Structure formats: structure tokens, C-alpha cells
Amino acid sequence: MDQSKNYKNILKLITFAGQIMLENGAETYRVENTIEYLCRASDIETIDSFATPTGIFICIETSDQKYYTTLKRVRRRITNLSKIYQVNNVSRKFAENKMEIEEALTLLEKINTESSSSKLQTIAAAGFSAGFFALLFGGSLWDGIIALGCGALIQYINTVSKFLDNPPIFLLNLLGGAISAAAAVLFAGILNIGSISGIIIGAIMPSVPGIAITNAIRDTIYGDLVSGTARAVEAILVATAIASGVGVVLNTWFLLQGGFTI
């Protein structure tokens, strides 16, 4: 096969693999490792890859001292562990020379376009985990039930908005926080069922950026300072959005009560 075409195909393969992994929430060091691992199957002299949560740069040096470089922007970031697992499988088989480039590319294309688990299932799962978190953090049974409803509703709104090209993440989180607080005020404040903080804690759990802040510190410990900072900023932004939504609603409620402002 024409050698330079071969290199271009490998570059295409590793960029695509890296892009799928980043878009589906893999850690940056794992993306870089996978890219280097994939290159073991070819006669590439050196490979340098630089992955950040928002983009990926790859440069390969071939045995005849030619350089090929590529840059891929990563715009959407969700967590889909199945896809990370499948890309991992493809890369393992390819690196062990059990797979041709064309076959690997077709498989990656299939992984990329494959739809994730059903929307109803995700909505139900978000509801249940919100409910059980309310219970886990010491809420009453009513707190759990109301949090279940809220969590499912917030997930439903997030799912629907995925059809937009560029979903307004900040506004969605703000809305999620406001919905949780509104439900808490309605049930605990007015109808006297459950407790305000118990409901809110459970309901916002599926959207709060606990994983993001932990990964930010983990990236920083590994020396990936750029992605660490990027993830930390993202986590703070999401937390601010949720807290603003909750804050606005609670503030209004306490004002209407004639009491103190929060």
C-alpha cells in the first residue's frame, strides 16, 4: 500500500478514536494512552498527543522523518461509559494486529453513531438515583419520593434539549436548580410534606459536578494542568448555575414569607 496514505489513515483512526473517547467523558491521560497504544501496531517513529477536554492535537513522526499533524475540536462532552469501553476493545484488537485499519475505522464509525440507552430508561434512572440520594443523605421517605419526581423531570428536560445543536448548559442547570427549589417550596414549605433541604439535595444530585471536580484534581495530580484547570472551571460554572437557580427561588420564597432574605 502507498506508505503516505497508510500514515494518513492511521492518523485518521487515532484522531477519531481520541475524539469519541473525549466526547464520551474519558480522562485525558486515557485518551493520550490509547492514541499511543494504537500507534504501536505501525512503524511510526514517535507520536505526540495532547488531549484537553475541549480539543485534541496529534503529531506523528514517520520512520522517514515526515511529520503529520492533526487538530480536532471537541465540542460536546457527555458521559457514556459503553462507548469508552467499545473504543478500548477496538484499540486493543488493532494494536495486537488482529484488525485492519479499514475495519477499525468502520467499527469506530458504528460506535460513534450508535444511540445510547433509551431515553425513558435514563429518565427513570436519574429519578431513582435522585430519590435514593435523598434517602442516603438522611432525608425522609417523602423527601425521596419528591426528589425522584424532580430528578426525572430535570433529566427529561436535559434529554429533550439534546436535540438542539448547542444546548445552553448554563441555563439548563439554572432551570434544574430552580425546579428543585420550587418543588421543595411547594411540598415542604406550603403543603408541609418533607423537608426543603432534603428534597433539594436529592433532586440536584444527578446534575451536581462532583465527578467533574474530582477529575479536575486528578488531572492536576497527574500533571495534566490544562485539562485540570478546564475541568475545574467547568465544575464551578455548573455548581454556580445550580446554586443560582436554587438561590433565586428560595430567596423569593423567604421574602414572600416576610422573613429574612437568604
Partner 1 sequence: MIQQIAYSFFATVGFAYIFNAPKKSIFLTGLIGSAGWITYAYFHHTYTANILGSFAGALVVAILSELAARQYKMPATVFLTSGIIPLVPGGGMYFTMLELIRRDFDSAMSKGTETIFIAGSIAIAIALGSSLFRVKRRKENQGN
| Cα–Cα distance measured from residue 226 to residue 116, given in angstroms and rounded to the nearest whole number | 29
Is there binding between residue 169 and partner 1 (CB under 8 A)?
no
| Cα–Cα distance measured from residue 109 to residue 84, given in angstroms and rounded to the nearest whole number | 13
Quick note: the x/- pattern for partner 1 over 35-74, rule CB under 8 A, is: ----------------------------------------
Which stretch in 12-20, 35-43, 67-75, 213-221 sits in contact with partner 1 by CB under 8 A? 213-221
The three three-digit cell numbers of residue 159, written as one number: 434529554
The three three-digit cell numbers of residue 155, written as one number: 433529566
CB of 191 to partner 1, least distance (A): 23
The three three-digit cell numbers of residue 259, written as one number: 422573613
Element (H, E) at 69: strand 67-73
CA dihedral 183, 185, 187, 189 (to 10 degrees): 180
Of residues 7, 10, 17, 27, which one binds partner 1 by CB under 8 A? Answer: 27
Of residues 6, 112, 140, 244, which one binds partner 1 by CB under 8 A? Answer: 244
Of residues 17, 44, 51, 83, which one binds partner 1 by CB under 8 A? Answer: 83
Quick note: the x/- pattern for partner 1 over 118-137, rule CB under 8 A, is: ---xx-xxxxxxx-xx-xxx
* Inter-CA distances, 3 with 14, 35, 91, 139, 152, Å: 17, 20, 21, 64, 53
CB of 166 to partner 1, least distance (A): 22
Is there binding between residue 112 and partner 1 (CB under 8 A)?
no
Is there binding between residue 14 and partner 1 (CB under 8 A)?
no
* Pair 154, 180: CB distance under 8 Å: yes
State whether the Cα torsion 247-248-250-252 is positive or negative.
positive
Compare residues 13 and 203 and give the one whose CB is closer to partner 1.
203
Binding site residues, partner 1, CB under 8 A: 25-27, 30, 79-85, 88, 116-117, 121-122, 124-130, 132-133, 135-137, 155, 201, 204-206, 208-211, 213-218, 220-222, 235-236, 239-240, 242-244, 246-247, 262
